[in-house]
Homo-oligomer: A and B are copies of this chain.
Amino acid sequence: MENNKVSIYDIAKYLGLSPATVSYVINGVDKVSEATKQKVLKAIDELGYVPNYTARTLSTGKSHLIGILLPLDDASIAFLQNPFYVEFIGGFEKGMLGYNYDLVIGVTKTQDDLKEWVLRRDLDGLVIIGTCPKNIYSELKRLNIPIVLIDDYSDDANAFNNISSNDEQGMYLATRYLINSGHKNIGFIGKPESYLIDMRRFEGYKKAMEEDHLEIKDDNIYRINATFNDGYEIGEELINKKELTAIVCSADILAIGIMKKIKELGYDVPKDLSIMGYDDISYANFVYPGLSTIRQDISEKGSRAAEILIDKLENDRRGKVTINMEPVLVIRESVKGK
């Protein structure tokens, strides 16, 4: 094998030392005299040595690789239309700063692939975004590496490190803001029966409504998927329902779709309908009028995920961590007082 790479053997030979001594210096093992250490450090610099993580992994069993699973399947591709992933990854890398871990992306990994993927690469840890297929959790447990689930609201997820947002509180804030602005007939847009995240948000809506003894009418609940198109398509029905003065949406992208249709039909937001979004994606501010919404700090989620993994891996910490992040009300122009 032609190979110009410098190994600890080269350095050892160059200095007339053994590879072990060089390894000790590199790893800061306090077994080497100061003089020898300096010589080794100098040689590393001179020869341009770069540690080979592959060999290190083989030897230590730690790859310093962390897998991140993005669900890129058809069902969730719409979800990608918001910059969630990149923001998350940015935050994650920030949290990893100073620790030599690399992030391996897994897209379209089915549960069959998943286990093999983790094993063959000796992945040290795993971050999974979104709810997993039901039957994968026992498999995950068996992998025996730290795993952080992001926004997985299933019961199974409770057995893992877990970062999510307090969605009930978030939607409570949204609904309360509408109520406090004088609205009484408030619609809910989302699929509480299909998606756990929507269920939790529905609970917040319900709590606010019941607090003020406002009626929750089932035909004010519009069960559609969280995509622009689904919002766009329901827009006409919403604007034509005159008793409805405001809606809360379980996703900004939905609200943006609804808003677009309403304006195409010649109506005005918020005059003809007040709209609350959820997520505070950047485009919530970019559309006109600016969408009032609930912010969850995605980048923060990323760095918290990194911290959890680092703590597990570097300090061999046991036990599971659950973080429920508090959402914040963001007021722009899509809601009008009544």
Q: Is A19 an interface residue (CB 8 A)?
A: no
Which of B82, B102, B105, B286 is within 8 Å of A121, CB to CB? Answer: B102
A90 close to B105 (CB less than 8 A): no
With A1-B61, A283-B286, A288-B264 as known contacts, state yes or no: A80 contacts B85, CB within 8 Å. no
Kindly state the separation between the CA atoms of A87 and B70 in the bound complex, as whole angstroms: 12
Given that A70-B86, A90-B72 are contacting pairs, would A50 and B119 also be in contact in the complex, using a CB cutoff of 8 Å? yes
Contact with B along A119-136 (1 / 0, CB 8 A): 111100000000000000
Q: Is A107 at the interface (CB under 8 A from chain B)?
A: yes
Contact of A57 among B54, B97, B287 (CB under 8 A): B54
- State A337–B116 Cα separation when bound (angstroms): 58
Complex CA–CA separation, A287 to B228 (angstroms): 11
| B residues less than 8 Å from A70 (CB atoms) | 86, 89
Say yes or no: is A18 at the interface (Cβ < 8 Å to chain B): no
Q: Kindly list chain B residues whose C-beta atoms are within 8 Å of the C-beta of A57.
A: 54
Please determine whether B283 and A259 come into contact, CB atoms closer than 8 angstroms: no
A3 to B: closest C-beta gap in Å? 7
- List of B residues within 8 angstroms of A288 by Cβ: 259-260, 263-264, 287-288
One of B58, B82, B107, B264 near A93 (C-beta < 8 A): B107
A: interface residue count bin: 35 or more
Distance in angstroms from A10 CB to nearest chain B CB is: 14
CB distance from A328 to the nearest CB of B (A): 20
Is A20 interfacial (CB-CB < 8 Å)?
A: no
A54-B121, A97-B108 given. 6 additional CB < 8 A pairs?
A: A53-B121, A54-B54, A65-B104, A85-B86, A105-B105, A287-B288
Q: 23 A-B contacts, Cβ less than 8 Å apart?
A: A50-B115, A51-B120, A52-B120, A53-B120, A53-B121, A53-B122, A54-B57, A72-B93, A77-B90, A80-B86, A85-B85, A89-B107, A93-B108, A97-B108, A102-B117, A103-B104, A103-B105, A104-B104, A253-B286, A256-B286, A283-B286, A287-B288, A288-B288
Residues of A near any B CB (own CB < 8 A): 1, 3, 5, 50-55, 57-58, 61, 63, 65, 68, 70, 72, 77, 80-83, 85-87, 89-90, 93, 97, 102-108, 115-117, 119-122, 228, 253, 256-257, 259-260, 263-264, 282-283, 285-288
